[in-house]
Structure 1
Amino acid sequence: MPNGGWLVPEATDDKLRAVRGRTWWESEQVRSQTGSRGWRSYPFPMSVDVPLGELLRYSNLRARVKFHQLGLSDPGGIGDFVDGSVSGGDVRLLELEDVSFFSLARHFAVEFERSSRREVVFLVVHFENGRRHEDIELLFERDGTVLVSFTLDGGNPRGLEHAREHAEETFVSAGAVVRWLEHCPADEEVDQDYWSVGLSVTDLKVTVGALCAAVKALRPVLCTFRGESGPDRRGEFKRRVLEGRFAEILGTAESDWLECKAKLQIGGPDGNDKLTKAVCGLANGHRAGLLVVGLKTVPVDGRDVVAEVTPVLARAHTAERYWKIVDDHVEPVVRGLEIDVVPVNGGVLVVLSVPAQPEHTKPFVVTKNGGTLLFQRRGDHTVQLTSAEVRTLLAQGWGR
């Protein structure tokens, strides 16, 4: 167990370990262990979703070309282990970005129907993250379970205390829950720290691209260099508020992830409208966000910055009242929404945390007087969307 590694796997998954040898960097090791490639040509069945079967084979071919260009061992085509219990291969995100897990699970269901010995089908998805190469392993099991595992090198234990919280919030947008998150320190065999992450995909409507985007978003949060404060300003801001370190948040500018209200008369039409507008706008935004009630802002150089802590009446601003207003007027349900009430000088601050939402669950709308209103957080403002803007966003992937 790594030092300080209280984040340990909930269970050991032999199937995950069995296919880890098929990663980008370990193909030569598997080749040497088996004495040969250990794989034989085995095309995916074509009786269901012919285009997807062809796409997988093409993506595998392009991945093999990339291996060759980098001077790495050829991982081979889509294939199966000799005993036939596991099948899969390496592919690129470029071809699968818009493919949903539902489509893949439906396609692989044929694998299980045609072979009673088949237990697992896997894909190792390769993609670029800036100048880094990343890969994630997708595991499709006979019972319909979809598991994911990956590692992030350069892991920094600085954020260990909040690492799981970060990961769970990040993967809301990818329809996945964290099964394990383990920090592994450098040792004689590994020259740098890394994180080992395991997920379970619970919403099959999400795409492979959405999952990989979440992996990209998690890296800068967990993998900063030792001693750095890290780029996750939203997470740092939230912790400072919850811990009462208010002097450290003064001067922070409102942004696409932060909206502040000095007060809200919730329970009345104006206060309810402002609350639901803000939550709807953040849910329709492009990243996770915070709404903090009890912080006054002032304009500085064209931007509104936090200038003063202005606690609101505790009795009137309970988490339950906020929950009811949001639940009654924002549709669909905002996944992963958290509401924290922070006592301050006889009053409270209210912190609403809105994780990034899956694209297929958008748009979020505010229901009012039998009609619907749509808002989106853009920069440091929340704007109401026009019909033309909604059509454009739907065409770009909302609701799919």
Structure 2
Amino acid sequence: MAAIESVVFDRDRHKLILANGESRRGVDFDDFLVHSDDLKGMRPTDLKGALQRVADGGEVVVNVTYDDSVDEEYSVAEPISFRFLAGQLKVSVGHASDDYDDDETAATAFSSLLSPYLKRCRASVAKVEMDSHYVHPLVWNIEISCSPRGRDMADFFQIGKGALALLQAFESGELTRETTLDLLRSGNAQVLIGQEEGPWLDVKSAHYDLQSPSGKISIAQAVARFANAEHGGIVVVGMRGKKVPGGEIISSVCPVPVDGRTLRRYQTAIEQHLYPPPDYLDIEAVSTDGGNLVLLHIPPQPEEHKPFLVHGAIVDGKVEGAFISVVRRRGESSIPITAPAVHATLAAGRALLRRGEVPKDLG
């Protein structure tokens, strides 16, 4: 028995007809507006067959909101569209940037940035060209070739969204703590695969063992490293790192189970072992393909609160509950804060006390 086509082209009405019977209109006679929800379950082969019946080939433009009664001039569309060229599916992403002034330079830069992410998605950059309809800012159309096997059009829409998120994150010239946070919270963790861990990013493939003293001390130390660092940092539980020459890169997303008590366990372990409590520490679960990640965001901390101390230490593999450990992040590794550095901080504090210069929030 033949499968019902997930989308067909109605030549008389010049519309795409979805499997549920709803129709999506044509724009400028050869483009079609759909909602992202329409793409779930839409097979690439069916869309290819439908567009082949359009006189000039046809393109699918994805709308943020779809209302058949609203004129396309006033509709809000995603900068992502689909087309079949020479029988191959192409995902087109529109990205605004004035950083490049010719196609060749832009193609080299965008391909270098997107390649680690797209390789994992079984895709690649096929072409980059400037959109002649825009002058300032310049808009670049990045055409992505995708393998259609085993995926629906919603999967390709997510590939396009991930590429766009990564391009926007790098618009400032580098991936920052803030843009990484945005990528994670928006469900785009996968675009970080292939990127380097930095002085403000640490990933862990599985939950800390928060039933054991060593696990509780370990998570407190992980937070303390960034609290004692200059720029704060992010700990992500549910992503795997891999050592490479010169450092470590993120190699995969491996979601972790999260229940109603997970975040509270992290919070309690940190409260029991880290002093003082970091300002504005966020502990949250974020969704990703296949499950959840646990995200701990440590903003930059006031210098007068440092050093952050961990009650307990792991010495030669053994837990020493009576010890105090003080650590901070340097590059991709962690180093202990030396006794002279701790003493200097305490001495400076005592000097301020003698002069009566006590910060208001510590008085």
TM-score per shorter chain, which class?
A: 0.3 to 0.5
TM-score, normalising length: structure 2: 0.44
Q: Give the structure with the higher percent strand.
A: 2
TM-score scaled by structure 1? 0.40
Q: Give the number of the structure with larger relative contact order, counting CA–CA contacts within 8 Å between residues 6 or more apart.
A: 1
